[in-house]
Amino acid sequence: MESSKAHQDPFTVARGKLCTAEAGMTGDWRSSRPEIDSSKCILSKTGNKPCFLCWMYCPEGIVTKSIPVKIDYDYCKGCGICAQECPAKAIRMVAEQNID
């Protein structure tokens, strides 16, 4: 009997790994950016882990798993998933043209 690993498609496995910048400088695509209000972030307020839902759901893998949470804007494409998933509503999307 073959192990289940023998049936894994290497392409699918590779695509399933979280990695940064596979598609280049994805920050260039962005029309709005996520801004984190650390005073609302559960982690920053309590120091308790885990939350990191923004880290977990970011499809670019560019949110740090740290306190405070940070975003690498060179690669953030502005999809807004982090803002959607944040249970504390600590992340809001801001139009790029409204940023100095």
To the nearest whole angstrom, how small is the minimum distance from the Cβ of residue 82 to ligand SF4? 3
Taking a C-beta distance cutoff of 8 angstroms, is the pair 19, 72 a contact? no
Joined together, the tokens standing for residue 24 give 């280049």
To the nearest whole angstrom, how small is the minimum distance from the Cβ of residue 8 to ligand SF4? 27
Least Cα distance to 69 among 34, 96, 32, 43 occurs for 43
- By CB under 6 A, is residue 21 in contact with ligand SF4? no
Residues 28-87 that bind ligand SF4 (CB under 6 A): 34, 36, 41-43, 51-54, 58, 60, 62-63, 69, 71, 76-82, 86
Tell me how far CA of residue 15 lies from CA of 10, 12, 20, in angstroms.
9, 5, 12
Binding positions for ligand SF4, rule: CB under 6 A = 34, 36, 41-43, 51-54, 58, 60, 62-63, 69, 71, 76-82, 86, 88, 90-91
